[in-house]
Structure 1
Amino acid sequence: MALELGLWRVDQEPVRLQAVPMALESRLETMIESDPSLLGVDVLLIGRQVPTAYGKYIDLLAIDSEGVLHVLELKRDKTPRDVVAQLLDYGSWVQTLGQQDVRDLFADKNPGTAFDTAFAEKFGEAPPDLVNASHVLTVVASALDTSTERIVAYLNTVHGVPINAVFFRFFEDDGRSYLARTWLIDDAIQQATPKPRSTSGGTLAEWDGRTWYATFGQAPGGRSWEDGRRYGFISAGGGKYYSQLLRNIPVGARVFVFVPGQPRGYVAVGTAIAEAVPADDAVLTVDGVPTRFLDLDLQGDYTHPPAEDPADETREFVVAMEWEVARPLAEGVWKTGFFAVPLTACRLRNQFTIDEVSAAFGVDD
């Protein structure tokens, strides 16, 4: 039996409202474009009528906070089975899209708006490194026939194809219009269904093999960025989790340094000239003179109490840096969409951040 969506006005007794016969799909695309929250799924719209490589056009293409692409196809005047076949065809193309392909599609549909900025404004964080590891296919319609509903449910729940259908119906009552929405497959079922990973091999942002991200965390009575800027180092400690990430930075790595908190921002770009070593053993070259780290005139404190677990490593570790540019914290650089994660260090793949920070610092990216 085909899914039926009903709406009742409840006064002294329930009165069922009648759906309004109208060309619903002709308006839905515009409505969803202006307010994607109508879907009940939090997404950033990439574009409307997005061209594929096969000369056809996806009605609406969007991305969610996890980097999953959402393909939405409106039924319009297509037969129910035709719209499902069309959607599967689009899915076969979408799964080939890599990181840069998605960015290019967004740029084409949103000239003058940076993808990273729009993503951060929508979700409050930079885009994930892995984009389009999976995708979701959605039929948008006022109704489908029973056979098509069975096909969609069969593909999703039995074969794990990430396809679903969302139904919208218009109702009128006493001069007012209402829009109602329901999904064919319950969200809990859909989320439990495994989604295929992209086989394009290009969904992970490319890494140049050299550029790293590092945080220089500050705290009252703890480390001070002014020390790092003055003497040429980054450091981390207080637990093996923090120091181990810093110790992954190889000699020769180009490091973009971020200071979290308020104010926050990127404050330096430089090259690691030595491996991370415990602060007790670190030696930095200051004004041409090799000097023990702990003998420096430091504003911050780089000691930590020993861990209760002997296997943990609480010592502060130091990486000697040669700065290309190092600014006071008050002159740090920050824009919506910049990459910033609570990790001591990791590979930096976010080209938007690299380009913008490099331009602000006047260094070669």
Structure 2
Amino acid sequence: MPVRNAIWKVGAEPQPLGEGRLPSERTLEDMIVSAPSILSDEWMLIGRQEQTGTGGIIDLLAIAPDGTLVLIELKRARTPREVVAQALDYACWVETLKAEDIAAAYARFRPGRNLSDDFEARFGYPLDEDTLNDSHQIVVVAASLDSSTERIVQYLNARDIPINVLFFQVFDNAGEQLLCRTWMIDPGETQVNVAAAGRGDKEPWNGEFYASFGHGQGRDWEEARQYGFISGGGGTWYSNTLSLLGTGDRVWVKAPGYGFVGAGEVTGPRQSINEFRIDGRPAIEVLSGAHYHREHADDPDRCEYFVPVKWLQTLPLDQAIDEIGLFGNQNTVCKPRTPKWRTTVERLKQALPRHDDATT
């Protein structure tokens, strides 16, 4: 069913706003470049009108915190089915880009700037060239899609091909124009598919989760060990994937920059910092080792979210398991499907022999 919105003026007699049109779709592209949060405040634009080398031109190119590339195509004058097919064709080219190609695209987009430096300034940690463009996603920006094209997008996404549609509508209001946006698919669902769609061989998921715990990036590992939790926040990109975890799930935790630091069993659902309790007390009152984004405690998009964990075995940061070849990912939680994950879990079970014990 096509996604549409309506807006009314608030009053005793609500008045609907009439739907309008932008002067051109180039106007929308200019707006996105000026204010990238129109798309997402968790991506960084790195390219515009980038030539693919096969005769095509990508409207916009962005990068996510985990080094995933985001290919953004505006519908313009093409039919919905054409723009989806074109985006898939462009994705074949994006998949071939190496680190130096991506850096060159950014240099064309932001002359005189350095991608690695700006990435670290934007996200707070270095760009890992080993995982840069390990996967990518497609975003189609359109005012509307026909039902057939929506079914195609849903079909692809359901089969772990990360593609989404951002619908936009324009409303006229007393000589001004208002822009409204709506995602076709929950961006968190697409993000999960991106995390599972890296390059290389795939194999069935082994049923065990990976978690990234950013010690020193707003949270404290020693408190997580003591009180039994993992967490993520500062934006929906960091907190959405915590919803993948269910009671009884096994999770292996890595502290980026240190190594793997624990194995645990999930004991409850994701909760915000205002909801999460530690020994019956609000977590926001108990935790003092880091800020846990408490300044955003009342913002559901930016606040810290927690998942309670019964630790089976944990390690202090100075004993973290950090070896060449072990799996890593910037997503807070993911369901890896690569041989590297299987071998990583096998190694961790040797290094953490109490991974099946209810002890720390």
Q: TM-score range by the shorter chain?
A: 0.5 to 0.7
The Cα of 1:179 is off from its aligned counterpart by: 0.8
Instruction: Call closer, same or farther: CA 1:107–1:346 in 2, change over 3 Å.
Output: farther
Q: Please list, as runs of the form range in 1=range in 2, the aligned pairs for 1:21-100 lying within 5 A after superposition.
A: 21-100=21-100
The Cα of 1:124 is off from its aligned counterpart by: 2.4
The Cα of 1:26 is off from its aligned counterpart by: 2.5
Instruction: Call closer, same or farther: CA 1:23–1:184 in 2, change over 3 Å.
Output: farther
Instruction: Call closer, same or farther: CA 1:116–1:9 in 2, change over 3 Å.
Output: same
Q: Please list, as runs of the form range in 1=range in 2, the aligned pairs for 1:10-29 lying within 5 A after superposition.
A: 10-29=10-29
Match of 1:286 in 2: none
Deviation digits for residues 65-100 of structure 1, max 9, x if unmatched? 110100000100011110000000011111111222
Match of 1:169 in 2: 169
For 2:318 and 2:59, how far apart are their aligned partners in 1? 56
Match of 1:196 in 2: 197
**Paired amino acid for 1:53:** G
**Paired amino acid for 1:179:** L
RMSD, matched Cα: 3.2
Name the TM-score, length of structure 1 as normaliser. Answer: 0.53
For 2:101 and 2:199, how far apart are their aligned partners in 1? 13
Instruction: Call closer, same or farther: CA 1:126–1:81 in 2, change over 3 Å.
Output: same
Partners of 1:68 and 1:132 within 8 A in 2:
yes
The Cα of 1:125 is off from its aligned counterpart by: 2.4
Larger Rg: 1
Instruction: Call closer, same or farther: CA 1:116–1:7 in 2, change over 3 Å.
Output: same
For 2:30 and 2:88, how far apart are their aligned partners in 1? 23
Name the TM-score, length of structure 2 as normaliser. Answer: 0.54
**Paired amino acid for 1:44:** M
Q: Please list, as runs of the form range in 1=range in 2, the aligned pairs for 1:1-365 lying within 5 A after superposition.
A: 1-129=1-129, 130-157=131-158, 159-193=159-193, 195-199=196-200
Deviation digits for residues 252-283 of structure 1, max 9, x if unmatched? xxxxxxxxxxxxxxxxxxxxxxxxxxxxxxxx
Deviation digits for residues 307-342 of structure 1, max 9, x if unmatched? xxxx989999xxxxxxxxxxxxxxxxxxxxxxxxx9
The Cα of 1:117 is off from its aligned counterpart by: 1.8
The Cα of 1:186 is off from its aligned counterpart by: 1.8
Instruction: Call closer, same or farther: CA 1:315–1:4 in 2, change over 3 Å.
Output: closer
Partners of 1:139 and 1:164 within 8 A in 2:
yes
Deviation digits for residues 149-173 of structure 1, max 9, x if unmatched? 111111112x111111101111122
Partners of 2:164 and 2:187 within 8 A in 1:
no
Instruction: Call closer, same or farther: CA 1:105–1:21 in 2, change over 3 Å.
Output: closer
Instruction: Call closer, same or farther: CA 1:176–1:40 in 2, change over 3 Å.
Output: same
The alignment covers a number of residue pairs equal to 214
For 2:167 and 2:318, how far apart are their aligned partners in 1? 58
**Paired amino acid for 2:85:** A
Instruction: Call closer, same or farther: CA 1:153–1:344 in 2, change over 3 Å.
Output: closer
Partners of 2:22 and 2:28 within 8 A in 1:
no
For 2:199 and 2:97, how far apart are their aligned partners in 1? 8
Partners of 1:25 and 1:141 within 8 A in 2:
no
Instruction: Call closer, same or farther: CA 1:155–1:172 in 2, change over 3 Å.
Output: same
Partners of 1:25 and 1:142 within 8 A in 2:
no
For 1:163 and 1:199, how far apart are their aligned partners in 2? 19
Match of 2:209 in 1: none
**Percent of pairs with identical residues:** 40
